[in-house]
Every structure is written in structure tokens, then in C-alpha cells.
Amino acid sequence: MGYLSQKKKHERINFILNFSLGLISVTSFLALFDRSSTFSAFVNQWQFQIYLYLLVVFMYALISRFFIQGTFAALLIVVNYMLIASSANLFNSSHGGGTRQVSILYQNQTQNADTLMAQAQAEGVDVISLNHSRAPFSNIDKYPGYYLYNDDNELQQSFIISKYLPLKSGRILFSPQYSGSYMMFIAENQPMVLVNIDFSGLTHEQEGTVYHNLGEFVIAQDNPVVIVGDFGIPAWSKTFQKFLNKTGLEVKNHVILSNGKYRFNPFSIPSFNLLAYKNFGVSNVQFLPKNDNNLYPLLINLTF
């Protein structure tokens, strides 16, 4: 009786491992060799979760003494790691090594302007990037030390508030559905152009147009560009990689599993990023409390 029970357990583990590895093999193949279809793009969005699941399968195979499956899982881990790490930082942010710093607060759909500005002032935030705000920010005089140069009719779409005097600012149209804002300023004797975007809900058909226009804006700038926001797609997707190659920008933060509704969501597509050039880095990434707002503000410390 004990032998039959042990045999059934062995067969069950063998089935779980073979099924998991077979399914992941197919998704890895799609992610590597077929990036043109909508289905492969959908699979590609979950590549980081697949990588984490592979780590679990690998450990389960070793503990259960299924070494053949464990070896195959290890190979798939290497393949998926190379796919993700080619354009994203898995668990650690990229440190630039500089001593100068700019803190950037990012949030979409702000419900309470006073609460958010109180948080920004308490944290000593230098720049605040906002999209689709539902709270009035037009009276910037209420917040001493901050500047806002965007037109009032743009404040419901995308805008930037800064402690640094803006040299130039405005709106960028990426497609009929998507726009962003930019602000040029000098921080710690370093001129830079900050671009604020929200590409959440971006479809596979819209990617090419939106990222082409964003890339054209970046390469047209004379000063270093920093982009913060929800990019709508993960950094290892084909469109994103082409954009990085075209502009020379790099992802500076570690993978963030959240869409702003929760501090951590394992089923969220990791699309929050800060991009900058090689001499820039990130020393800290954290979510601040929601307080009276629906989404968590994302605080990033940029170093150079």
C-alpha cells in the first residue's frame, strides 16, 4: 500500500513538473522568436512572473530529487534571465555613483492636491510628475518654492511641478490618445529635460506610433533626458528594446510589480520605470502612503 502511494506521489510530481516546464518552454519560445503577434506580445508581458515561477519549479524539482527536470528548469531560467536582464534590472536598481540627487514624485489620477503636496514637502521632493489629475493644481502659490509653467488647459492631462525654475515646459503629443509633458531645468548645475508619461492601457497596435514619437522627441534634445512614468509595456518587449537602442537610454530602477493601486501586486505588468543615460542612477524607489488619493505616489531618487 505504501509503495502504491509513493508511486502515485512520484507520478503526480512528475506530471506537475513536466506540464510546467512544457508550458514555460512554449512561452519562452514565443518571447524569443515570435514577437510580431498580439498573443506573443501578451505572453511577453508576463516574462518576469514566468521567471519567478521557474525559480519555484527549479527548487521543487531539486527538493523532490527530479534532477533531469531541475536541469531543464535551470536552462530555462538562464534563457528567461537573459531575455529580461538585457533591458531591465531584476532586483536591484542601477546606481550611477554620483553625489548629486534629484527626487521625483510620480502619480496618476490625484484626488487630493493638498495631501499630495504635503507629502512632497515633507519628503523634500524636488519634482512632481502628474497625469490625469482630478484635483486642482492651478493655484501653485499655495505651495511656496514650487513652479508650474504648463497652461491651465493641460493640467487635467499631464504636467510637472518643480522646485527648479523651469527653463521650458509644455505638452508632447505621441498619438491622438496619448500625450505627456516635459520640463527643462537645471538641477545641481546639471541641465536636464524631464519627460512625464502615462501609457497605461497602451495596445499592441499603438506601440509603434507612441514609441516612435517619444524616441524622436528624445533624440531632438540637446540636454540629457530623463523619462518617468507608466510605459504601458515591460522593458523587455521588442518595441521597448528598439526604443532603448534608438535613444541610448537605460532603465535605472529595479522591476516594480505594481500598477499604483497596491504597493505590491504579483499579477501586475511591470511598466513603471525611470529612464536616463549611463551617468545617471537611482538610489531609492519607494511608494508613499495613499492618504486621500486612490493611487500610491511613487518616489524615485535620481543620482548623477
Same domain? 139 vs 254: yes
- Helix ranges, the chain (H): 2-33, 38-45, 47-63, 67-85, 113-123, 204-219, 238-247
C-alpha cell at 290: 495613499
Residue 31 lies in a domain: yes
Residue 27: its pLDDT value, please? Answer: 76
Residue 276: its pLDDT value, please? Answer: 97
d(CA 289, CA 48): 26
Residue 93 lies in a domain: no
Residue 148: its pLDDT value, please? Answer: 85
Same domain? 172 vs 240: yes
Residue 136: its pLDDT value, please? Answer: 79
Task: Provide the number of structural domains found in the chain.
Answer: 2
Residue 34: its pLDDT value, please? Answer: 64
Residue 36: its pLDDT value, please? Answer: 65
- Answer whether 240's CB lies under 8 Å from 211's CB: yes
- Answer whether 90's CB lies under 8 Å from 71's CB: no
Query: What SS3 state is found at 253?
Result: coil
Contacts of 193 by beta carbon, 8 Å cutoff, 6+ apart: 182, 183, 184, 221, 223, 224, 225, 226
Residue 90 lies in a domain: no
Tens of pLDDT, residue by residue over 123-146, are: 999 999 999 988 877 778 888 899
Same domain? 113 vs 180: yes
C-alpha cell at 160: 510637472
Residue 9: its pLDDT value, please? Answer: 77
Residue 95 lies in a domain: no
Same domain? 271 vs 209: yes
Tens of pLDDT, residue by residue over 2-23, are: 655 777 877 888 888 888 898 8
Residue 149: its pLDDT value, please? Answer: 76
Residue 151: its pLDDT value, please? Answer: 63
Task: Name the stretches of the chain with pLDDT < 50.
Answer: 1
Angle at 296 between CA 293 and CA 300, to 5 degrees: 130
Residue 153: its pLDDT value, please? Answer: 60
- Answer whether 121's CB lies under 8 Å from 142's CB: no
Same domain? 56 vs 115: no
d(CA 284, CA 302): 8
- Answer whether 235's CB lies under 8 Å from 273's CB: yes
Helix (H) / strand (E) element for 179: namely strand 179-187
Amino acid at 70: G
Q: What is the CATH number of the domain that holds 297?
A: 3.60.10.10
Domain span at residue 240 reads 101-303
Exposed/middle/buried for 138, CB within 10 Å: 0-12, 13-18, 19+? Answer: exposed
Residue 5: its pLDDT value, please? Answer: 72
Residue 141: its pLDDT value, please? Answer: 82
Same domain? 126 vs 242: yes
Same domain? 214 vs 260: yes
Q: Which of 85, 109, 124 is the last residue of a domain?
A: 85
Same domain? 28 vs 173: no
Q: Which of 85, 119, 154 is the last residue of a domain?
A: 85
Same domain? 130 vs 200: yes
Same domain? 241 vs 290: yes
Bridge partner residues of 169 (DSSP): 183
Residue 6: its pLDDT value, please? Answer: 75
